[in-house]
Amino acid sequence: MEARRIAERVSLLGAVDWDRRLFDALIPLPDGTSYNAYLVEGSQATALLDTVDPTMTPVLLRQLERVPKLDYVIAHHAEQDHSGSIPAVLAKYPDAKVVCSQKCKGMLGDLLRVPAERILAVEDGQALSLGDKTLQFVYTPWVHWPETMSTYLVEDKVLFSCDFFGSHLATSDLYADEGRVYMPAKRYYAEIMMPFRNIIQRNLEKLKGYEIGVIAPSHGPVYRRPAFIIDAYRDWVADEPKNLALVAYVSMHDSTRLMAEHLVSALVARGVTTEQVNLVNLDAGKLAMALVDAATIVIASPTVLTGLHPAAAYAAFLANALRPRAKHAAYVGSYGWGGKPAEQLASLLPLLKLEMLPPVICRGLPAEADYAALDSLAEAIASRHQGLVAAGVA
């Protein structure tokens, strides 16, 4: 696409990647993505804010053909989907300087071999004048790497936030359709940002000091109503989870499926919002989104070689890595001759401060006593969720 104006002499460049379906060989992209770069043309100098993924370098260079002189390339984040085209841009503009945070300087050298003499490292709060436009740099670490910063365009009240507030969404829309972007933005938060929830809380507080009229992230559409995405983040990073139980299951011969379905029904009957996720052919983003809100995580798995089914073990590993705000967990499952899957589950969740509820384990198909035990587990979960309901976070 051609450059598109978001303010006077402020344009969105970059590329929409309609076809990409996997990020970092790990993260599903059901809606594609975009790599946003922004051009700010002041009366005395011009700056490019971020570049694009190396696969899209020709797109960016074509957009820059109309720009005779570039003074600065602002590198908010060293990851290659934003920084990967910097060497090509520097080759096109031999007098341009890269501007980044102190931590980012060494990373750009390590990852892209950007020469140190072409990098200008700035401090938190430092400003750079382009003449009649002023860029103020705001350190926003761990969204989602330690060196990340944002840029505030003072005169136009635009916050260029890099990955902060981003969404993996391929769209021709310049501005966010709030109904459409909410779930891709939540998926993005869940997959990428959730492990840094506590630090993001502090970054949100820091941004209260800025009058923000537009948020321009480096993935997804631009927000011209910043409160929409800021309020969503405040909800997602809050300390208290929702009245939600996640029941993630895998079943080989139906025993565990029957147990999971019964537990879901028992939870719903007791007023607990429940999400049931089949771990076979799992979309990890769907599981991550459920983890954002869940107060209780239930892993339901048959016993495989005395332990969890590998799909269930992966789900537990993912939950531990993403560090959701859940408070409780439980194991449900069946076995043929023995094992310790409940103990293995607990060992896979060391980073989460969870209350492990008593497991429900049956031999073979569940019997009447096993269903009664599942009812008791549902009762225990519902009782622990009562405080969330009373607090209005259901």
Which architecture, in CATH terms, is 4-237? 4-Layer Sandwich (3.60)
CATH top-level class for 245-385?
alpha beta
Asked whether residue 393 carries a pLDDT value surpassing 60, the answer given is no
Q: pLDDT of 257-307, one tens digit each?
A: 999 999 999 999 999 999 999 999 888 999 999 999 999 999 999 999 999
Can you give 72-111 as a three-state secondary structure string? EEECCCCCHHHHCCHHHHHHHCCCCEEEEEHHHHHHHHHH
Q: pLDDT of 305-320, one tens digit each?
A: 999 999 999 999 999 9
Which ranges in the chain are annotated with CATH 3.40.50.360? 245-385
Q: Tell which residue, 277, 348, 278, has the closest CA to residue 313.
A: 348
Which ranges in the chain are annotated with CATH 3.60.15.10? 4-237
Task: Please give the Cα distance from 9 to 46 (Å, whole number).
Answer: 10
3-state secondary structure of 34: strand
CA quadruple 100, 101, 105, 110: dihedral positive or negative? negative
- State the pLDDT confidence band at 234, using cuts at 50, 70 and 90: very high
38 sits in which H/E element: strand 38-41
Phi then psi dihedrals of residue 152, to 5 deg: -110, 120
Provide the whole-model pTM.
0.93
- State the pLDDT confidence band at 179, using cuts at 50, 70 and 90: very high
- State the pLDDT confidence band at 394, using cuts at 50, 70 and 90: low
What integer best gives the mean pLDDT of the chain?
95
Asked whether residue 219 carries a pLDDT value surpassing 70, the answer given is yes
